[in-house]
Amino acid sequence: MKAEESKFSLFSKRKSAEVDPSELKIPTHLAVIMDGNGRWAKKRMLPRSAGHRAGADNLKTLCKNCGHYGIKYVTVYAFSTENWSRPESEVHTLMELFVEYFDRYDPELEAEGIRVRFTGDIASLPENIQTVCKRAEEGSKHRDKMTLIVAFNYGGRREIVQAAQKLAEKVKAGAIRSEDISEELFAQNLYLPDVPDPDLIIRPSGEERTSNFLVWEGAYSELWFSDVLWPDFGMKELTDALIAYTRRDRRFGGLSKEKKDEE
């Protein structure tokens, strides 16, 4: 048995929560689609707002669990550009939760050394939400253990369109030529060009699609899906995802290590 296979056989004999972080390949950047809040509430005969509140509370747990594994960047899909089509009362609840979350949990984020950043069409949000975003970003710039990136009013296609518009304006102004546009230059005009692409994207709730999340940045991300609804997604599920990620061979279009060795 190969050493790598032997290592993974140990995983199968233990509970996932007992796996030592040193045995895992830890992603630098983890992205999570926080899905299933409404169904979580419905199963408990609670209003959807209760599910969203439980989901917001679980974000704090995710940050602590990711900190345990030394993950440096965590991006969460909190509100998409398509979510505006939901009932007005639900959108209002989500906006209120957004404000409450950063007022309530900022001391804990501070204690954990978590910097907060936002990605999305923030300029189109209500003024009070923009104020919360600016305050959270400015107040956490000095923290360096982890960066929590909240995708709010985010759509992957909109991000790409807005990047294209920026480049078109630069071409129009004569700052660049159209033939100068490369993948690297395009990426520099996305919302957060200094953040590394996600290594792993997780979606709980049983759905198996990325739903317009990090369309450009996630082109080569590993995907992992779980039937667990987001408010119940804990250390066990995170560890299971990291075990699966450790087993993956990320080739980025090239050959696997084994095939390279055969040549």
Rounded Cα distance between 44 and 47, Å, is 9
> Is 128 assigned a catalytic role?
no
The answer to whether the beta carbons of residues 32 and 77 sit under 8 Å apart is yes
Rounded Cα distance between 103 and 139, Å, is 12
> Is 58 assigned a catalytic role?
no
- For the chain, count helices (H), then strands (E): 9, 6
Active-site residue among 57, 83, 197, 232?
83
Which runs of consecutive H residues, i.e. helices, occur in 13-86? 37-43, 48-69
The answer to whether the beta carbons of residues 68 and 79 sit under 8 Å apart is no
Contact residues for 214 (Cβ-Cβ < 8 A; gap 6+): 31, 75, 151, 156, 197, 198, 201, 221
Rounded Cα distance between 99 and 117, Å, is 14
List the one residue out of 239, 234, 221, 243 whose CA is nearest residue 75.
Answer: 221
Catalytic positions, written as ranges: 35, 83
